[in-house]
Structure 1
Amino acid sequence: MNVRPPAVAGQFYSHSPDYLVSQLNRWLTPDERNSATLEQQPIRALIVPHAGYIYSGEVAAGAYRCLRAQADRIRRVILIGPSHRYYFEGCALPSTRFFSTPLGQIPIDIQSVDKLRQIDDIEVSDQVHAQEHSLEVQLPFLQSCLHDFTLLPLLTSNVSPAKVARLIDPLWQGDDCLLVVSSDLSHFHTYSAAQRIDKHTCALIEQFEPTLSPEQACGSTGINTLLLLAKQRGYQLKRQIMINSGDTDAGDKERVVGYVSYIVSEPQ
């Protein structure tokens, strides 16, 4: 199979291209409240949530909108997220040549896949990728913010952040490469408990402490990997939006999921 088709269009986000474009443009267009916060330094990475767009879409857009002004230089995207359906050792890459969404096809970075597939901590599995939402929900945002780019989609399971950092460090070089980490925060606590837990988690992120657990962030491996490399490189990190599902019209306050978005940029 050369193309991975969208698995969660119509569930996590709209399957209608026209509606999807309209929704994303509305969220991604700066207004008077956020136009002054657009990052001027080269953006090297994002942390963004991966829930349904009715819950976390605007949170993700808070980071993605900063990319539009820098789209001309970004030609490669490394996208890291947790595997929700399968448990395995290491990381998983697809063998497909394209990932598709209602907005079109994105070419896979075949050169990087070929380099990584020789490594023991990497497996190539289209099955692992087929139904996974953590990476897919980021794709329409990337298609709306960037121009021509290739994608390296990497799912993590039982693997240490230090190993993942060693894998991607040689690939995440140069201004043309963006790292996107897909992660929600805490899951299924009460509203007040989630606020307390997520506030502590964000404090650790902002101190570049690569010690997050899956209970604090379901994509903790990817976040910890980013924190290791960002601290080593002297990058700066800025929180954009933090809420939980209880803050949205679609959620209640009894069992909530936390969401946050960050941009990581070169120092001023």
Structure 2
Amino acid sequence: MHRKAVVEGVFYPKSFKAIKNFVDSCNVKLQVEAKIAIVPHAGYIYSGETAVKTLKSINKIEKNIILLGPNHTGLGEKVAVFPEGEWQTPCGDVTVNKDTVDLLVEKSVILKRDTMAHIQEHSLEVLLPILKYLKDDINIVPITVSHLTKNECFNVAKDIYEIIKDGSFTIVVSTDFNHFESEEVTNYKDKLAIEKILDIDPEGLYNIVFEKRISMCGIFPVTIALYLARMLKLNNVKLVEHSTSAKASGDYHRVVGYAGILIG
């Protein structure tokens, strides 16, 4: 099964050369041992620099990557795992790790094989050209997540943990933070959410996002990732960068927040 790129030329460039130039232009000073990366998924003009800086700051990206992101379209299963095949990128196709997909789905009651949730979804696709350029031989397990309870987030994390605990995986989690309020409000709300992530506090993050009405589209995948961080006994957390769309748009009244965070 070949999953064609759907936001190529809109969210990110169509050519390998343009991807290369963009990624190479983002300089980093940091090198971190990290198993989990939280990165944004807007158009590269807005959040691409934050995403690249975060992923380039990982000392070693593993060949096997678990991709977790929100389902914006509402299509498909609540926790949808793309079953097999390849995903198209300007840097070459990326292979789905069918063996890991099969293990996950067979051992879980909530993770389901599904392509419908992925067909028009951009949250994972926009990260693939960066990852493919940084590490050419990657394979992926693409998972999109719709609305889940805290307990469901925990159960998804446990299912993933049981499969990856003895292997070498990098978990890449896709989310933007607060949407379409002023930069002042967005910085305040994003800070509340980021503090919970830095504390590896999945319950606290989940609660504060709904209590303070923080429109963080990837709340569910990030909550799953924080439960995974606990299970993996990770305690080194680094905020690489926080930014907003205002830097590119010049509009400070209606912005989207972005953050790059590494957990190792």
TM-score (norm 2): 0.89
Does residue 128 of structure 1 match 2:127?
Answer: no
Corresponding residue pairs, total:
252
Using the TM superposition, name which of 230-239 and 253-262 deviates more.
230-239
Does residue 193 of structure 1 match 2:192?
Answer: no
2:44 to 36, 43, 53: 53
The Cα shift of 1:89 comes to 5.2
Over 3 Å counting, the alpha-carbon distance change for 1:188 and 1:3 in structure 2 is same
Question: C-alpha separation between the residues in 2 aligned to 1:190 and 1:257?
Answer: 9
Question: C-alpha separation between the residues in 2 aligned to 1:70 and 1:132?
Answer: 27
Q: Which runs of 4+ in 1 moved over 6 A?
A: none
Question: Does the CA-based 8 Å contact 1:93-1:113 persist in structure 2?
Answer: yes
Question: C-alpha separation between the residues in 2 aligned to 1:125 and 1:70?
Answer: 30
The Cα shift of 1:250 comes to 2.5
Question: Does the CA-based 8 Å contact 2:19-2:130 persist in structure 1?
Answer: no
Q: Could you list the per-position Cα deviations for residues 158-203 of structure 1 after superposition, in whole angstroms to 9, with x for gaps in the alignment?
A: 3331122112112333562100110010111111111111111111
Using the TM superposition, name which of 171-180 and 2-11 deviates more.
171-180
Matches within 5 A, 1:239-258: 239-246=239-246, 248-258=247-257
The Cα shift of 1:62 comes to 1.8
Does residue 208 of structure 1 match 2:197?
Answer: no
Question: Does the CA-based 8 Å contact 1:156-1:221 persist in structure 2?
Answer: yes
Tell me, what secondary structure is at the counterpart of 1:104?
Answer: coil
Using the TM superposition, name which of 235-244 and 142-151 deviates more.
142-151
Which structure 1 segments of 5+ residues have no match? none
Query: Could you say which residue in structure 1 is the equivalent of 2:10?
Result: 11
Does residue 229 of structure 1 match 2:228?
Answer: yes
Question: Does the CA-based 8 Å contact 2:76-2:116 persist in structure 1?
Answer: no
Question: C-alpha separation between the residues in 1 aligned to 2:254 and 2:2?
Answer: 36
The Cα shift of 1:102 comes to 1.1
Over 3 Å counting, the alpha-carbon distance change for 1:154 and 1:259 in structure 2 is same
Question: C-alpha separation between the residues in 1 aligned to 2:228 and 2:197?
Answer: 13
Question: Does the CA-based 8 Å contact 2:75-2:116 persist in structure 1?
Answer: no
Question: Does the CA-based 8 Å contact 2:190-2:257 persist in structure 1?
Answer: yes
The Cα shift of 1:87 comes to 5.1
Does residue 238 of structure 1 match 2:238?
Answer: yes
Matches within 5 A, 1:44-123: 44-67=35-58, 69-71=59-61, 74-86=62-74, 90-118=78-106, 119-123=108-112
Does residue 178 of structure 1 match 2:181?
Answer: no
Which structure 2 segments of 5+ residues have no match? none
Q: Could you list the per-position Cα deviations for residues 31-71 of structure 1 after superposition, in whole angstroms to 9, with x for gaps in the alignment?
A: xxx42x222xx32110000100000011111211123x424
Coordinate RMSD, CA, aligned: 1.7
TM-score (norm 1): 0.88
Question: C-alpha separation between the residues in 2 aligned to 1:3 and 1:199?
Answer: 39
Over 3 Å counting, the alpha-carbon distance change for 1:7 and 1:88 in structure 2 is closer
Question: C-alpha separation between the residues in 1 aligned to 2:98 and 2:146?
Answer: 22
Aligned residues: percent identity? 29
Question: Does the CA-based 8 Å contact 1:88-1:157 persist in structure 2?
Answer: no
Does residue 148 of structure 1 match 2:133?
Answer: no
Question: C-alpha separation between the residues in 2 aligned to 1:25 and 1:62?
Answer: 10
Question: C-alpha separation between the residues in 2 aligned to 1:224 and 1:111?
Answer: 25
Over 3 Å counting, the alpha-carbon distance change for 1:225 and 1:170 in structure 2 is same
Over 3 Å counting, the alpha-carbon distance change for 1:144 and 1:174 in structure 2 is farther
What is the identity, as a one-letter code, of the residue corresponding to 1:235?
A: N
Question: C-alpha separation between the residues in 1 aligned to 2:25 and 2:187?
Answer: 27
